[in-house]
């Protein structure tokens, strides 16, 4: 990902926090020279400075088998906003787009066996809807086993993390305040989030 120096996340913790917040991401692989992508929810964890991503494919998805032992890319991106030149102090200005994105690269590894699949599903439920866990555990074992037969669980140990926050860092303080003010008043959640990131990250994300 192209990242100008002033748009780079310098802190890995901030990049990981972003992935955890916007955890519905896109996994990209290459098959016979053709990019292939699937949209999945991810569990994002960090231990001893190493980030790990876990999720599962539908077994019927051919990308699952094609990904085994390959280098993959997972793209996390969510809040974005159109930036009008009306916020700038000079007439000679053009529109742009503000956004945040994290690209995580790593080797795809299967989590084989019912025990690993069950642990992944429980962790996923706890992360996205903890209240459902009691209901899940009360379901018949045969039903849960059949469900697990239909998925391919995996993990990715991240070995390259590229994070970008394009938040008008190259604009003047007045221009940034103009943008934050308008986006912050918007009814669009994505635009509000961009305003919040702009205000909290300042000129150096």
The pLDDT of residue 202 is above 70: no
pLDDT, one tens digit per residue, over 143-182 is 999 999 999 999 999 999 999 999 999 899 999 999 999 9
Return the pLDDT at 109: 95
pTM, two decimals, is 0.91
| Average pLDDT of the chain to the nearest whole number | 93
Write the pLDDT tens digit of every residue in 61-108: 999 999 999 999 999 999 999 999 999 888 888 999 999 999 999 999
> For the segment 23-66, what is each residue's pLDDT rounded down to a tens digit?
999 999 999 999 999 999 999 999 888 999 999 999 999 999 99
140 has pLDDT over 90: yes
In DSSP terms, which residues pair with 55 in a beta bridge? 154
Residue showing tokens 């394009």: 166
Cβ 45 vs Cβ 55: under 8 Å: no
- Fold (CATH) for 5-192: Pnp Oxidase; Chain A (2.30.110)
Q: What's the confidence (pLDDT) of residue 40?
A: 97
pLDDT the model gives residue 204: 40
d(CA 40, CA 24): 6
203 has pLDDT over 50: no
CB neighbour burial string for 88-126, b if at least 16 within 10 angstroms, e if fewer: beeeeeeebebbbbbbbebebbebeeeebbeebbeebbe
d(CA 97, CA 81): 6
Neighbours of 53 (CB within 10 A): 24
Q: What's the pLDDT tens digit per position in 6-17?
A: 899 878 899 999
């Amino acid at each position: 990902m192209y990242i100008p120096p002033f748009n780079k996340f310098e802190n890995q913790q901030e990049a990981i926090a972003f992935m955890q917040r916007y955890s519905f991401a896109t996994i990209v692989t290459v098959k016979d020279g053709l990019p292939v992508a699937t949209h999945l929810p991810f569990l994002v964890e960090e231990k001893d400075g190493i980030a790990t991503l876990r999720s599962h494919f539908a077994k019927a998805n051919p990308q699952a088998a094609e990904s085994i032992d390959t280098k993959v890319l997972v793209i996390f991106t969510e809040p974005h906003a159109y930036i009008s030149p009306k916020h700038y102090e000079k007439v000679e200005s053009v529109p742009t787009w503000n956004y945040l994105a994290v690209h995580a690269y790593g080797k795809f590894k299967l989590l084989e066996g019912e025990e690993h699949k069950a642990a992944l599903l429980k962790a996923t439920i706890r992360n996205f809807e903890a209240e459902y866990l009691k209901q899940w555990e009360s379901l018949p074992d045969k039903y849960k086993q059949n469900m697990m037969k239909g998925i391919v669980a995996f993990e990715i140990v991240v070995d390259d993390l590229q994070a970008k926050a394009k938040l008008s860092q190259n604009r003047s303080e007045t221009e940034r305040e103009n943008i934050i003010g308008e986006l912050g008043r918007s009814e669009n959640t994505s635009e509000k989030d961009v305003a919040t990131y702009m205000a909290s990250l300042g000129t150096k994300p």
